[in-house]
């Protein structure tokens, strides 16, 4: 992709079109899509920096306060609980953990261990990386 991007004008929409046209037959999903997205984000960031403005302003948005959350990897029941506890001790009010273990029971065990480690005040989010079916996700969420 470098040959298609380096030396081109700082024009994210045009570069996006060029990249999508070049990879139309191969497809722009998966790794190709991730690479294009990374280039696209970098170009928009470069445009904002070139104009000495924050990216949100370049895109026409207003600043908005967000609540930060801390990440937790795919560390199993004990590992996730320990990491969650450390984040809570540092003052975070939310965590987001990877799930998608071999069984829904394992996913639930991880979530329950994190809840036990941090208490009811901590927001817990999970990311199954699209591994769960809709029915399994509903079961894991207690729906």
Residue 143 confidence (pLDDT): 58
Quick one: 15 and 77 in the same domain? no
For 95-118, give the DSSP string.
Answer: EEEE---SSHHHHHHHHHHHHHHH
Residue 82 confidence (pLDDT): 97
Residue 23 confidence (pLDDT): 92
Residue 81 lies in domain: 70-140
Quick one: 18 and 50 in the same domain? yes
What is the rounded CA–CA span in Å between residue 67 and residue 60? 21
Closest by Cα among 101, 100, 98, 64 to 84:
98
Of the listed ranges 12-16, 119-123, 128-132, the least confidently predicted one is 128-132
Residue 93 confidence (pLDDT): 94
Name the pTM for this structure: 0.61
Quick one: 54 and 7 in the same domain? yes
């Amino acid at each position: 992709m470098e040959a298609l991007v380096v030396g081109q004008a700082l024009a994210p929409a045009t570069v996006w079109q060029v990249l999508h046209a070049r990879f139309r037959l191969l497809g722009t999903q998966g790794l190709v899509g991730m690479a294009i997205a990374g280039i696209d984000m970098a170009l928009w960031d470069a445009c904002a920096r070139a104009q000495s403005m924050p990216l949100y302003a370049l895109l026409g948005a207003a600043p908005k306060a967000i609540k930060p959350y801390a990440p937790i990897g795919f560390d199993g029941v004990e590992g996730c609980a320990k990491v969650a506890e450390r984040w809570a001790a540092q003052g975070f009010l939310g965590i987001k953990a990877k799930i998608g273990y071999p069984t829904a029971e394992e996913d639930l065990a991880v979530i329950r261990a994190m809840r036990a480690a941090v208490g009811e005040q901590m927001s817990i989010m999970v990311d199954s990386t699209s591994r769960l079916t809709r029915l399994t996700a509903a079961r894991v969420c207690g729906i």
